[in-house]
Amino acid sequence: MRGTVEEKAVRVAAPAKINLILRVLDRRPDGYHNLWSVMQTVALEDELRLRVRHDTAGVALRCDDATLPTDHRNLVYRAAALAVERAGLNVGLEIKLMKRIPYGAGLGGGSSDAAATILGLNRLLGLGWTVAHMAELGQQVGSDVPFFFFAPSALVTGRGEAVKSLRVAGERWVVLVAPGFPIETRWAYQRLSAARFGAPSLSGALQALEAREAVTWEDLLPLAENDFEEAVFPEYGVLRTIKTRLLSEGAEAALLSGSGSTVFGVFRDETTARQAQATMGRLERCRAYAVRVCTEALSCQSAPTTASLRVG
């Protein structure tokens, strides 16, 4: 599909995600595991600014975090290159990525950035792609990418490609506690497999959620669980300590997000969340964030000027 350049530059906010429920089920023939997860975006956001370059072809990615790669190892670069290839366009792109979401932390920052890239290019290049088309493209970049096109809340199954939007009524605040170290996803899966006996199954309560299009926080929070905790907590006891502390600070529920390393607590109001953030932020090496849960879908807007896209 060939498009036309509709905007000089676009800006996209890429939110973090948490897993309110995460069950890791059977191993698939392709080597991946089937997942069953309720995912939710929260207002800790990276920012991407994208513009077309007329002086050269290819993708030029720059990032304000010098420790992150800006070549094909970065999901933003891969998403941009794939989108341009799929669109059949020969254009140059300049992308600036401003990182706020900790990486290697189970918050889906890289996947969210990739989804934001595809969404931004869809508008910037006037491609006219549907949500389903963008999600299919995102699946080729990473398993968590499709979710962000159906956010803020969704039920995610399979490898991550089956996503069903879920309306969650009410508001909540979330305190994210990043302990200062990453956890390698492959290691977490290996530990989980070694710790298990027998095939995992879904409870009747979780199966009943599959038929629902809308739920409340009161429906979800009693069901909050993350299978990775049984694999990760014995090795990283500080994460169990963080979970316990969040609950003692008034969290309605507290969980590891993804395979870690971030632990989050869900709070009913901002005041309690801010108090918990202050307490958790005093733990050694920990960074704590108090943010709202998102209530709107991923979207992009025109960047104010092309000059604001330049790095340095």
pLDDT in tens, 270-296: 999 999 999 999 999 999 999 999 999
Residue 242 has pLDDT above 80, yes or no: yes
- What is the structure's pLDDT at 310? 31
Distances (CA, A) of 77 to 47, 111, 115: 15, 12, 11
Q: In this predicted model, what pLDDT tens digit does every residue of 177-204 receive, in sequence order? A: 999 999 999 999 999 988 887 778 899 9
144 is catalytic: yes
Catalytic, out of 17, 46, 96, 113? 17
Nearest Cα to 11, choosing from 302, 294, 299, 296? Answer: 302
Residue 163 has pLDDT above 50, yes or no: yes
- What is the structure's pLDDT at 6? 55
8 is catalytic: no
Nearest Cα to 299, choosing from 119, 37, 43? Answer: 119
Domains along the chain?
Answer: 9-166 (3.30.230.10), 168-292 (3.30.70.890)
Segments in the chain forming alpha helices (H) = 75-87, 109-124, 131-139, 185-195, 204-209, 217-220, 229-232, 237-248, 270-280
Instruction: Provide the pairing of β-strand 173-178 with 287-292.
Output: antiparallel
Q: What's the chain's average pLDDT?
A: 92
Q: In this predicted model, what pLDDT tens digit does every residue of 118-132 receive, in sequence order? A: 999 999 999 999 999
- What is the structure's pLDDT at 7? 63
Reported confidence tier of residue 4, pLDDT bands at 50, 70, 90: low
- What is the structure's pLDDT at 66? 94
Residue 46 has pLDDT above 90, yes or no: yes
Distances (CA, A) of 87 to 135, 137, 222: 15, 11, 44
DSSP letter string over 150-163? T-SEEEEEETTTEE
- What is the structure's pLDDT at 1? 40
Catalytic, out of 46, 96, 113, 144? 144
